[in-house]
Structure 1
Amino acid sequence: MYGDDDFGAELAAGLDPDSWVWLPGVDYAAGWRVARRTADELNGLLAMCGVGRAHLRAIADTNAHGGPVVRLEGVLEGWMSLRELLCLAASVRDELP
């Protein structure tokens, strides 16, 4: 693309078959349900802290073996809000005896 001959090679190098190949007999739905409950709880906490879903949100997923995975996806504004919240939490933790 536009003279970038390595573009396709970069995409191929980033592919991890373990992250997208489904194995027969693995109950991915069970892992996803666990991840979904956790993602919903995290999204609720983010909303209570004023972080909108359009800026940062938790997404339920599973790993290659059906284990629950929660991914965070967001735009810069959402990540900056999370950074601010984590800095605040760290400062409060330092103040605890």
Structure 2
Amino acid sequence: MDRSGDAEFEGAQFDPGAMLWVRGVDYMTGWREATQVVEELGDALTAAGVDVAGAKIQAVSASDGSGVLRLELPTAAAREVAMLARAAASKWRKAG
């Protein structure tokens, strides 16, 4: 799995030339936060048993400066995530 926090992932660098800049918007803070969450999400998917081979998670900054993750999954992995989400939702409804 490609993660923006990994050294070998080419998208790990913040590319200031890849976006329009608005004066006064702190893009770096959002991007840094998103970079930290990339690791959390990747670890959670792995811990849940999702086959993350071929998955890509990239940290970016939105136009308002907030952090955003872009997640790209192979179809089989997306089905696993959907199944896990449905199972978790079902448990939460029963518990509530």
Corresponding residue for residue 70 of structure 2: 71
Q: Runs of 5+ in structure 1 lacking a partner?
A: 1-19
Which protein is bigger by CA-based radius of gyration? 1
1:29-68 map, 5 Å = 29-68=28-67
Using CA pairs under 8 Å that are at least 6 residues apart, name the structure with larger relative contact order, 1 or 2.
2
Deviations 1:47-77 (A, max 9, x none): 1011233244432111012211122211111
Corresponding residue for residue 82 of structure 2: 83
- Aligned-residue CA RMSD in angstroms? 2.2
Q: Runs of 5+ in structure 2 lacking a partner?
A: 1-18
Question: 1:72 aligns to what SS in structure 2?
Answer: strand
Question: 2:84 aligns to what SS in structure 1?
Answer: helix
Structure 1 76/35 Cα, relative in aligned 2: closer, same or farther at 3 Å? Answer: same
> CA separation in 1, counterparts of 2:51 and 2:22?
35
TM-score normalised per structure 1: 0.67
> CA separation in 1, counterparts of 2:58 and 2:43?
12
Answer yes or no: is the 8 Å Cα contact 1:57–1:74 preserved in 2. Answer: yes
Q: How many pairs align?
A: 79
Corresponding residue for residue 91 of structure 2: 92
Corresponding residue for residue 8 of structure 1: none
Q: Percent sequence identity over matched residues?
A: 32
